[in-house]
Amino acid sequence: MKDTIKEERYPVCKSAELADNTMRKITVDTIDLLVGRKNGKLFACDNFCPHKGASLSKGHFNGDNIVCYMHGYEYNLFTGKLEKMTSWKKEDTWVEQDAEWRKSGDLILYPISEEDGMIYVKKPG
């Protein structure tokens, strides 16, 4: 049984290559993922923002959240939940089309583990 589980995992990198409070984009079977280590805990999720599809690897951390660089939406890296939607003012450079524009789902998270000096993510799908 253990060999079957290992076959479903994709090696991301050596443990030493993923420092604390860092993230990196990887591709697994044509799917872009964001993997990282935040305050000693590993995370893995789709690399696109559920709001409008921007690359989350261009964002930054705010506590346990990833902040999308495009519109400032914040998602918890360990629960996947949308935690904050930035309020925009009329004087900003763009205007929302309608209330539907603000809607967003949550992040899709993937199991990630560390074993024998390597980091693995369970293959999507």
Give the CATH number, domain containing residue 8: 2.102.10.10
Per the structure block, which two tokens stand in for 27?
A: 């591709």
Full pLDDT tens readout for the chain, 125 residues? 444 445 589 999 999 999 999 999 999 888 899 999 999 999 999 999 999 999 999 999 999 999 999 889 999 999 999 999 875 545 554 555 566 777 889 999 999 999 999 999 997 76
**Domain containing 112: what range?**
2-90+98-122
**Global pTM value:** 0.83
Q: How many domains does the chain have?
A: 1
Q: Over the stretch 104-120, which tens digit does the pLDDT of each residue have? A: 899 999 999 999 999 99
Q: Can you tell me the distance from the alpha carbon of 25 to that of 35, in angstroms, rounded to the nearest whole number?
A: 6
Q: Can you tell me the distance from the alpha carbon of 67 to that of 33, in angstroms, rounded to the nearest whole number?
A: 15
